[in-house]
Amino acid sequence: DAGVIQSPRHEVTEMGQEVTLRCKPISGHNSLFWYRQTMMRGLELLIYFNNNVPIDDSGMPEDRFSAKMPNASFSTLKIQPSEPRDSAVYFCASSFRVSGDTEAFFGQGTRLTVV
Amino acid sequence: AQKVTQAQTEISVVEKEDVTLDCVYETRDTTYYLFWYKQPPSGELVFLIRRNSFDEQNEISGRYSWNFQKSTSSFNFTITASQVVDSAVYFCALSSTQGAQKLVFGQGTRLTINP
């Protein structure tokens, strides 16, 4: 398996623009997580899906952030409009959940810079 | 609330030395998982180990070993005979066993192995 695949690896955008980050989880995994990593706050969970359904989005910072999972093999995290404070590395992770989860495997991350 | 503390922000040792990374956690859950992840300079997050709270046996994997002590809420990680390739940021994390495996991360310890 190729692992969790995220695109793009790097994104530079101007303040106010819409940004879409993409994630392809490991095939067969049914839980998907979006995390954000910043120097100030470290790694924090934004949202997670189980069987394509958003279960907990309490970590989403504000309404400018939205996430979707239209099918088991694809998820997006959108920021509209983007602000400089959104600059961070965004990680997608997936795991397999039946009665409990396997360990989460992470993608390589998308480094977002908003100027 | 769950919390993970990695008090060592940075550690620097000379190659071949042994080094221990400390992790202390707080949780009200009776069962939980503990994890270690490695983040090399390339930026990805690499899964190292998951330990269930009811399994207090120490684990060894090659040069890596983990010491779980429930009585002190600690899950320390030791690298024996360190190598330059071990240089990375290491994260300890905690999750509940109930529901999806939402990870709560510590702030990380930056380990530098000098030749």
pLDDT of residue A2: 79
**Rounded distance between C-alpha atoms, residue A91 and residue A106, angstroms:** 7
Query: How many CB pairs below 8 A link A and B?
Result: 58
B97: which DSSP letter? S
Rounded to a whole number of angstroms, the distance from the CA of B91 to the nearest CA of chain A is 9
Question: Cα dihedral sign for A9, A58, A39, B107?
Answer: negative
Q: Of chain A residues 35-94, which have a CB less than 8 A from chain B?
A: 35, 42-45, 48, 50, 55-56, 89, 91, 93
CA nearest to A114, candidates A9, A19, A8: A19
pLDDT > 90? residue A62: no
Q: Which residue is associated with the tokens 């120097």?
A: A39
Query: A40: which residues sit within 8 A by CB, 6+ positions away?
Result: none
pLDDT tens for A7-55 read: 999 999 999 999 999 999 999 999 999 999 999 999 999 999 999 999 9
Cα distances (Å, whole numbers) of residue A42 to A81, A89, A106, B5: 23, 10, 15, 12
Q: Do B44 and A44 touch (CB under 8 A)?
A: no
What is the average per-residue pLDDT within A71-89? 97
**Rounded distance between C-alpha atoms, residue A24 and residue A32, angstroms:** 9
pLDDT > 90? residue B57: no
**Rounded distance between C-alpha atoms, residue A46 and residue A76, angstroms:** 12
pLDDT of residue B99: 66
pLDDT tens for B3-49 read: 999 999 999 999 999 999 999 999 999 889 999 999 999 999 999 99
Q: Among residues of chain B, what percentage have pLDDT more than 90?
A: 78
Please report which confidence band the pLDDT of residue A100 belongs to, taking 50, 70 and 90 as the band edges. low
Cβ of residue A25 closer than 8 Å to a chain B Cβ: no
∠ CA(B24), CA(B93), CA(B106), 5° rounding? 65
B84: which DSSP letter? G
Q: Do B101 and A50 touch (CB under 8 A)?
A: no
